[in-house]
Amino acid sequence: MHSYELLQAIFEQHSAKAIAAHLNLSVPRVYQWAEAPEPAGSGSANPLDRIAGLLAATRDDRIASWICQHAGGVFVKNANPETLSQDYLLQAADEVIKQFADMLCLVSTTVVDRQITAEEAVELRGKWQHIQSVTETYIRKCEAGVFRPKAEEKPSRPRSGQDDKGKPRSRN
């Protein structure tokens, strides 16, 4: 979806006039944001495109994080499944579990004295954001099929009802 299409949908639910008044802008200016950019339309660079441009120019995730915080959420960067390596499933799952265990350890350590300092809160936030990223990477790998066995790989142990070569057992 293009930014101007999103703004069109938003203007169907929220008054462009009220938005313009809130931002101290003219109503036509706000409506221009919902038009396709030149040459097809007369749309001007809208705030969403400007933010996307700022992100592209700086490659600084703090911009997205700031916006998400103002929207009442948090920013979690997605892993690019095309750049993910063929990791072993157990190693990847172990990393997710380890990160959660570290977080739980940090939580229990910070509450021992029945108070959490500003420094501890910052450390908790950083650890939590790291866990979200590690878990998102793991899930994206699962969705991308990174953990599927290679054609030449064989299971490490036979499945139930199979001999040690993976063939069905005879019932003699």
What is the predicted pLDDT for the residue at 66? 92
Residue 111 has pLDDT above 70, yes or no: yes
Average pLDDT over the chain, rounded to an integer: 81
Q: Is 157 inside a domain boundary?
A: no
Total of domains in the chain? 2
pLDDT in tens, 44-54: 689 999 999 99
- Of all residues in the chain, what percent are helix, strand and coil, respectively (each to 5)? 60, 0, 40
Residue 112 and residue 64 in one domain? no
Higher pLDDT, 75 or 78: 75
Domain membership of residue 15 as a residue range: 3-70
Dihedral (CA of 106, 111, 113, 119) sign = positive
Closest CA to 137 of 90, 76, 56: 76
81: nearest Cα among 145, 154, 11: 145
Is residue 164 one of the residues assigned to a domain? no
Q: Are residues 50 and 26 in the same domain?
A: yes
Structure pTM? 0.57
